[in-house]
Amino acid sequence: MVISVDAMGSDHGPSAIVDGIAKSADKNPDISFIVHGPKDELTRLITRRSDLADRCEIRDMPGVVSMDDKPSQVIRGAQGTSMLSAVDSVRAGEASVAVSCGNTGALMALSMIRLRKLPGVNRPAIACLWPSRNPQGFNVMLDCGADIRADAPDLLQYALMGAAYARNGLGVERPRIGLLNVGTEEHKGRAELRHAHEMILDAQETGNFDYVGFVEGGDLPSDKVDVIVTDGFTGNVALKTGEGTAKLVGAFLKDAFGNSIMSKFAALLAITSLKRLQKRIDPRRVNGGVFLGLNGMVVKSHGSADATGVSAAIKLAFRLAQSGFQDRLAERVARAAASVEETRPAPDEERT
């Protein structure tokens, strides 16, 4: 299994990314890497790690896509950048999946241009994992920010793609899907949501999922649902709000345990449990937004990801590639598109 990694774009520089690659390489002997970035620096970083050089092929790419570049600027100036090269390795079939910490908008724009949308997909989406009370430990939410708009047919496609992700990525046989809204009553929310509600309801059987109806923000980490469908604006705000809240509670927890000698002593006693808790809510461990709806897999890692975060994104990429997710997703979307064709009356029938 070959994974293509963009070595630039992390807030911590390429060393954090090479550290993440090394971490993943240590844990999983079945992965090798194509690493894209400035050759001299990468060679230095990679040869410092024993055995890593044998498993990494370096593609010398001096250009970097900056976090401030607009997607339109990126597209014009993409030639020679590590990001474009990382995506092109998937396009060329050299790697099963690409991982990048760079600018989300730029990565999506380049991925759409180079990999193209799957037949039948209008807007690709970014799917993220959300720690939850479900047995699988995570829920899927999409779109987390690929596109700030989504019409009812887009939301239906997100439901189909999210169901495929939950099946292949999380092993949920028949995923339960919810549509994010400001209330669970059927009359609530914007018109496109009420329309999408009907469409997703009708697609349950062909899509092999259960539709639970509208869900609210509080249901994102719940066990009522496995996949949450929403537009990319709302999804992005919800994702960052959840992360921000978890961080705040973590900081408050630290305050609480630093508060007195007694509580410091207690923290020492509880250190194993606290570490387990930290692991459960650590956003770095659920790092990795998966681009869905393209002819090829791309995983977006946080720009602020450190070695642990990068390694989590690589692990996710590996798991998805190994499950054959991409082919199944393509098949599912094609079948759904065909079934819409079938149920659509032929021009003749329409006229009668």
Considering only 30, 50, 68, 347, the residue that binds a second copy (CB under 8 A) is: 68
How is residue 66 written in tokens?
Answer: 């900056």
Task: Name the minimum Å distance from CB 12 to a second copy.
Answer: 18
Distances (CA, A) of 40 to 9, 62, 264: 17, 10, 46
H helices within 82-231, ranges in order? Answer: 82-91, 104-115, 152-170, 191-202, 204-207
CA torsion angle for 260, 264, 266, 270 (degrees, to 10)? 150
Distance in Å, CB of 58 to a second copy, minimum = 31
Q: Does 190 bind a second copy (CB under 8 A)?
A: yes
CB atoms under 10 Å from CB of 27, counted, come to 12
Which of 51, 277, 327, 331 is in the footprint of a second copy by CB under 8 A? Answer: 277
Residues 214-243, interacting with a second copy (CB under 8 A): 216-222, 230, 232-234, 236-243
d(CA 216, CA 238) in angstroms, rounded, equals: 11
Q: How far apart (Å, rounded) are the C-alpha atoms in residues 352 and 341?
A: 18
Sequence-separated (6 or more) residues with CB below 8 Å from residue 38: 14, 60, 61, 62
100 binds a second copy (CB under 8 A): no
Q: How far is the CB of 219 from a second copy (least distance, A)?
A: 7
Helix axes 152-170, 325-343, angle to 10 degrees: 140
**Shortest gap between Cβ of 137 and a second copy (angstroms)?**
11
Side-chain-side CA neighbours of residue 133 (13 Å): 8
Name the minimum Å distance from CB 204 to a second copy. Answer: 24
Nearer to a second copy, 77 or 339 (CB): 77
Site map (CB under 8 A) of a second copy, residues 35-54, x = contact: --------------------
263 lies in the binding site for a second copy (CB under 8 A): yes
* Cα–Cα distances in angstroms (integers) from residue 183 to residues 187, 213, 219, 306, in the given order: 9, 10, 11, 37
Query: Of 198, 249, 331, 344, which one interacts with a second copy (CB under 8 A)?
Result: 249
Residues in the interface with a second copy (CB under 8 A) total 65
Q: How far is the CB of 142 from a second copy (least distance, A)?
A: 14
Q: Shortest distance, CB of residue 258 to a second copy, whole angstroms?
A: 9
247 lies in the site for a second copy, by CB under 8 A? yes
Angle between helices 14-27 and 307-322 (to 10 degrees): 50
- State which of residues 27, 44, 174, 276 lies at the interface with a second copy (CB under 8 A): 276
Counting contacts by CB under 8 A, is residue 152 touching a second copy? no
Closer of 255 and 331 to a second copy (Cβ): 255
Between the CA of residue 68 and those of 71, 73, 101, 299, what are the distances in Å? 9, 10, 14, 20
Nearest to 106 by CA among 81, 82, 72, 148: 72
Positions in the binding site for a second copy (CB under 8 A): 68, 70, 105, 131-133, 145, 148-149, 180, 182-183, 185, 187, 189-190, 216-222, 230, 232-234, 236-253, 255-257, 259-260, 262-263, 265-270, 272-274, 276-277, 280-281
